């Protein structure tokens, strides 16, 4: 399996350059933590990756989660694979879900400790519960690479660990914008630090501690 390359990436806001130009290569087996203070360009970089790599089997977990509040947890997770089925099968699932989909998605929800909310509309969930649903949808979608923007920001302790482990085990490659540095170092094998729209740090996580990253903030 080959890696992915982002070359000459730039982003402007009006007449101001907010990111780049920068180059970033992602190799098979790499889980990259994007770290840096708010506004440094992490979300913008993830957006550029998604635009460039969207035909390479990319799953995106955006910071706003992108859930449909009126639909159940089950149906929001099912949406991760909408493109795999004909339109009529997806429409029928709204009324009478296939048993095999119910079994598969329930097992995934159990893994993330939210199976009891399977038929609850997402609009009735807490922030942490919605984040777990979005993670379940990304896992259900599958693909080559996961791009996730603060995937566990509303979670703590065992729940954050559980979701991070599930996400990173599902994908061969991942780029995760993270605010929890200790969690990032535990679950990612490479750290890319963004500062003022440029790459300030790019090192294996085993060579870093949280104190090495404080200058980014």
Q: pLDDT tens digits, residue range 12-33? A: 888 888 888 999 999 999 999 9
Query: Closest Cα to residue 163, out of 145, 181, 187, 142?
Result: 187
Q: How far apart are CA 177 and CA 184, in angstroms?
A: 9
Mean pLDDT of the chain: 92
Tokens of 166: 């599930």
Q: How far apart are CA 6 and CA 24, in angstroms?
A: 5
Instruction: Provide the 10 A C-beta neighbour count for residue 51.
Output: 11
* CB 99, CB 126: distance < 8 Å: no
How large is the greatest C-alpha to C-alpha distance in the chain, in angstroms? 54
Q: How far apart are CA 7 and CA 158, in angstroms?
A: 37
Q: How far apart are CA 201 and CA 191, in angstroms?
A: 7
Tokens of 122: 């997402």
* CB 133, CB 56: distance < 8 Å: no
Tokens of 125: 């969930």
Rounded to two decimals, what is the model's pTM?
0.91
Percentage of the chain exceeding pLDDT 70: 100
Give the pLDDT confidence score for residue 17 in this predicted structure.
85
CB within 8 A of 45, min separation 6: which ones? 9, 19, 22, 24, 34, 194
Can you state the angle between helices 157-170 and 127-141, rounded to 10 degrees?
Answer: 20
What is the CATH code for 1-57+144-216? 3.40.50.300
Say yes or no to pLDDT of 142 above 80.
yes
The pLDDT confidence band at residue 151, using thresholds 50, 70 and 90, is very high
Domain with CATH 3.40.50.300 in the chain: 1-57+144-216
């Amino acid at each position: 399996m080959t890696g992915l390359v982002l070359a000459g990436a730039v982003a402007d806001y009006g007449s101001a350059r907010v990111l780049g130009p920068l180059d970033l290569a992602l190799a098979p087996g790499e889980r990259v933590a994007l770290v840096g203070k708010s506004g440094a360009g992490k979300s913008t970089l993830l957006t550029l990756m998604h635009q460039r790599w969207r035909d390479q089997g990319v799953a995106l977990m955006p910071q706003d989660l992108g859930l449909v509040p009126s639909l159940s947890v089950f149906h929001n997770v099912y949406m991760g694979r909408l493109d795999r089925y004909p339109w009529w099968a997806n429409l029928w699932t709204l009324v009478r879900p296939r048993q095999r989909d119910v079994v598969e998605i329930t097992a995934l929800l159990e893994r993330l400790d939210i199976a009891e909310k399977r038929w609850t509309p997402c609009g009735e969930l807490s922030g942490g519960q919605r984040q777990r649903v979005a993670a379940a949808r990304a896992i259900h979608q599958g693909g080559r690479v996961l791009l996730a923007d603060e995937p566990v920001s509303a979670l703590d302790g065992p729940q954050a660990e559980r979701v991070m482990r599930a996400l990173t085990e599902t994908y061969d490659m991942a780029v995760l914008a993270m605010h929890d540095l200790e969690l990032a170092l535990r679950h990612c094998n490479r750290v890319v630090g963004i500062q003022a729209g440029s790459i300030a740090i790019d090192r294996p996580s085993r060579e870093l501690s949280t104190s090495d990253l404080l200058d980014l903030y």
